[in-house]
Structure 1
Amino acid sequence: MRKSVIVLSIIVLLLPIWTGCVQKRILEELGLVVVVGYDPAEKDRIKGTALLHQIDPAAKEKVQVVVTNANTSKGLRNAQNREVSKRVVSGQLRVAIYNEKLARNGIITLADTLSRDSVISDTIFLTVSRGSTENIITHRFPEISNIGTYLHKMLRQNIQGEQISSCTLHEFIHDVYSVGKDPVLPVIERIGDQILLNHTVLFRNDKMVGELSTDEAFVLKLIRDRYKAGSLEISLDAEPFRQLKPGFQGNKVDIVIENISSSSQIKLADPSIPSFSIRIKMNVRIQEVSTDLKLGEKKVIRAFESEISKEFVRRIQKLIAKTQAVQSDPIGFGEVYHSKVRHSNLTDEKWREMYPNAKVQVDIKTVMVRSGVVE
């Protein structure tokens, strides 16, 4: 009995050592992928560019870039391991970039592979590049030491600042496989030593079919999400303000609205057409005006509220027409239709035929909460 107790005690003492040996991972021996880019290569192959972060005090460079070709993303990983001295791992992946040409042909196989990798977070950001992703990742930026970390922070702060819609891997995969809704992704572009984030691309399922300007992407987010904070410069028709300011010259009034808080509601009005109604309520502050108007007067405030509402109705109708022309539904009207019409048996193919003929009534109520600076 005493002998058994001694043996058991030895096993208990050695167990943490054995466990530690199994789970031990030496960071100095790993190449941590921070950002990966995909470009089309010859013979329908894929060119992969990965930036590896090295945790090694002895290393002269803290990052290493590896460019390889393969037929699949897993093939790229195997090729990367054959070209570096450290084992490549994806647990720190933050951003995946897809070349615009690749995005036009479909990227679901590449994105789906990422989502199935248990070590990769589904909160990584996906983007589309204007031009080669290799040209972005391999470039030596004088003010940026790690382009992967920089891109992640850049995308995160623009999402938090509500300048662009969220673009995580989880959201992209969800919208691709969801009947009646299509994904959108931001576009990054390198010009010299600058990285620009100016556009948003429309997808039909997983294929890029169109593009939105910054202002159009703002309007899309206004419909899809709730704003808590935001900023936008817009031009209003000057005619309603001529009566408020005698001698007013010019055809437009330029204003900057900030601190936008909004809520939107989409309803199915008539399933036979189909027709929808969008109701949006916005609270805004006018930060700057290009002409001298007395923002303390109620009639001036009412004029601004009315004209801001009209301008956004116009922009929303223009945006919807643009998405209908390319048969892409980033707003999710199809999801609303599918959830409200029983036994609709809605499919992607059926909704692609219905959506271009859909009618949308837009109603916006704008409330000016306070005014800011007059130019």
Structure 2
Amino acid sequence: MPAKKVLHLLTILILLTACSPSREIERLGIIHTLGIDVTDDSQQIETTMVIFQFDDQAETLTKNISGQGKTVRGARNDASSQSAYHLAAGQLQLQLFGKEVAEQGVLPYLNMLVRDANAPDTVFLAVTNQKTKEMLDTGRELTEISIGQFLHGVIEQEKKEHKIPRSDLQIFSRTYFEPGQDPWLPVLDIEEELPAMVSMGMFQDDRYVGEISLKDAFYLNLFLNRIPPAPLELSLPREPFRDYMPGHEDMESKDDLYIKIQLKGSTNTKLVDEDGLHYQTDVKVKFRLDESSEVVVVKDEKVAELFEKEIAKKMEEGYGSLLKKLQDMQSDPFGFGTYYRVQKKKGEMTSDEWRELYPDISVDFNVDAEMIHYGTIQ
């Protein structure tokens, strides 16, 4: 390379380095959690932020601050003007939406995140059953650590145990822009005097339209992903197991047997009748019995097969019930629309076209359950 070109490149690099702003960390408020609400008159946006402050004169490491404005940036600037710190979003880990905001649509606030080069695309997203300001202010009083870290940890733990599907900015954005599939987000609330995840929110495009239970969220995750062993609690009819329960004659009459299992598995879905909008989903799982509400002696394959049959039946019923709920909400997180779309010419289909078809689809859920260990459980 000619010396003249090398000199030009070095000059550019030096100039670019000189343009990089530097700030003392003691003057920064590092935003960990950002909550978005609409004000009571719905005329402005209110943001509540959990920030880390590294000033050795500060009484606590974290602080909640709020601001209002016509836009998220405007509200953030308003909050910044009330603080002695410059607010930086480079370490944003969690963005919350009040339910009212989520029902109106979250896409404008996601665009803000996507356009911010400092915001990571792995930031967790979630909905709160009340205003995020109430959740963050109340939760701060109830937890011993930063409320932002606490809520992030709650979601992270459920994800690590494969109880729920991923719910970060990257996944939400990808699902939103996929014709034939709708996004989902965890729903947080105060439960038994502690912040907790209480359900999974279902979306129609970018609008919150309802919720499903955390058990249903597990079924959704199993549908979407191959999962390693993960805990699941089920209630089975007690009657088929009576003969394998020692002393059952003296036991109080009950209808259900409650069990906890470790389950791993995967699914395979195909559109078997395009004109009839009929699908088949094969769910293959292996499970280990960890615990039951009563002693059950699984002494041979006959009893093991009985558990396999009843668990498969329970899961098939669960999937069927879940699909009906989702059709009533007009939300398709399963992505059945994507299976239909690939059959269309050039794979083209709009979300509105799928909305008209989705209520009429039918699905055969076939669960093949295999018990991998057995013996006496209690």
TM-score in terms of structure 2 length: 0.90
- Structure 1 residues 126 and 290, CA, compared in 2 at 3 Å: closer, same or farther? same
- Structure 1 residues 88 and 241, CA, compared in 2 at 3 Å: closer, same or farther? same
Q: Report the equivalent of 1:96.
A: 95
The separation in 2 between residues aligned to 1:223 and 1:332, in whole angstroms, is 10
Tell whether the 8 Å contact from 2:233 to 2:258 is kept in structure 1 after alignment: yes
Matches within 5 A, 1:249-268: 249-258=253-262, 260-268=263-271
Matches within 5 A, 1:68-87: 68-87=67-86
1:24-52, Cα deviation, whole Å (9 max, x unpaired):
33211111111011112124311110111
Q: Report the equivalent of 2:127.
A: 128
The separation in 1 between residues aligned to 2:225 and 2:375, in whole angstroms, is 25
- Structure 1 residues 361 and 30, CA, compared in 2 at 3 Å: closer, same or farther? same
User: How many Å apart are 1:298 and its aligned residue?
Assistant: 1.0
**Structure 1: runs of 5+ lacking an equivalent:** 1-7
User: How many Å apart are 1:20 and its aligned residue?
Assistant: 6.7
Q: Report the equivalent of 2:351.
A: 348
- Structure 1 residues 105 and 16, CA, compared in 2 at 3 Å: closer, same or farther? closer
Tell whether the 8 Å contact from 1:305 to 1:368 is kept in structure 2 after alignment: yes
Q: Report the equivalent of 2:226.
A: 226
User: How many Å apart are 1:192 and its aligned residue?
Assistant: 6.7
The separation in 2 between residues aligned to 1:19 and 1:115, in whole angstroms, is 25
Kindly provide the amino acid, as one letter, of the partner of residue 367 in structure 2.
Answer: I
Q: Report the equivalent of 1:146.
A: 146
Q: Does 1:52 align with 2:55?
A: no
User: 79-88 or 360-369: which moved more?
Assistant: 79-88
Q: Does 1:368 align with 2:371?
A: yes
- Secondary structure of 1:307's counterpart equals helix
User: How many Å apart are 1:116 and its aligned residue?
Assistant: 1.6
- Structure 1 residues 373 and 163, CA, compared in 2 at 3 Å: closer, same or farther? farther
Q: Report the equivalent of 1:37.
A: 35
- Secondary structure of 2:144's counterpart equals coil
Tell whether the 8 Å contact from 1:254 to 1:290 is kept in structure 2 after alignment: yes
Counterpart among 320, 325, 330 of residue 322 in structure 1: 325
- Structure 1 residues 344 and 61, CA, compared in 2 at 3 Å: closer, same or farther? closer
User: How many Å apart are 1:150 and its aligned residue?
Assistant: 1.9
Kindly provide the amino acid, as one letter, of the partner of residue 27 in structure 2.
Answer: E
- Structure 1 residues 297 and 179, CA, compared in 2 at 3 Å: closer, same or farther? same
Q: Count the aligned residue pairs.
A: 362
Tell whether the 8 Å contact from 1:287 to 1:373 is kept in structure 2 after alignment: no
**Structure 2: runs of 5+ lacking an equivalent:** 1-6
- Structure 1 residues 365 and 192, CA, compared in 2 at 3 Å: closer, same or farther? closer
The separation in 2 between residues aligned to 1:134 and 1:373, in whole angstroms, is 50
User: 20-29 or 346-355: which moved more?
Assistant: 20-29
The separation in 2 between residues aligned to 1:180 and 1:146, in whole angstroms, is 38
Kindly provide the amino acid, as one letter, of the partner of residue 38 in structure 1.
Answer: I
- Secondary structure of 1:331's counterpart equals coil
1:275-304, Cα deviation, whole Å (9 max, x unpaired):
111011111001112333321311100000
Matches within 5 A, 1:303-314: 303-314=306-317
- Structure 1 residues 112 and 21, CA, compared in 2 at 3 Å: closer, same or farther? closer
- Secondary structure of 2:80's counterpart equals helix
- Structure 1 residues 255 and 89, CA, compared in 2 at 3 Å: closer, same or farther? same
Tell whether the 8 Å contact from 2:143 to 2:150 is kept in structure 1 after alignment: no
- Secondary structure of 2:338's counterpart equals helix
Moved over 6 A (4+): 15-18
- Structure 1 residues 347 and 18, CA, compared in 2 at 3 Å: closer, same or farther? closer
Kindly provide the amino acid, as one letter, of the partner of residue 166 in structure 1.
Answer: R
User: 270-279 or 246-255: which moved more?
Assistant: 246-255
Tell whether the 8 Å contact from 2:128 to 2:187 is kept in structure 1 after alignment: yes
- Secondary structure of 2:297's counterpart equals coil
User: How many Å apart are 1:17 and its aligned residue?
Assistant: 12
Tell whether the 8 Å contact from 1:290 to 1:374 is kept in structure 2 after alignment: no
The separation in 2 between residues aligned to 1:150 and 1:100, in whole angstroms, is 20
1:205-256, Cα deviation, whole Å (9 max, x unpaired):
0111111012111111121211212112111123433465685853322211
- Secondary structure of 1:110's counterpart equals helix
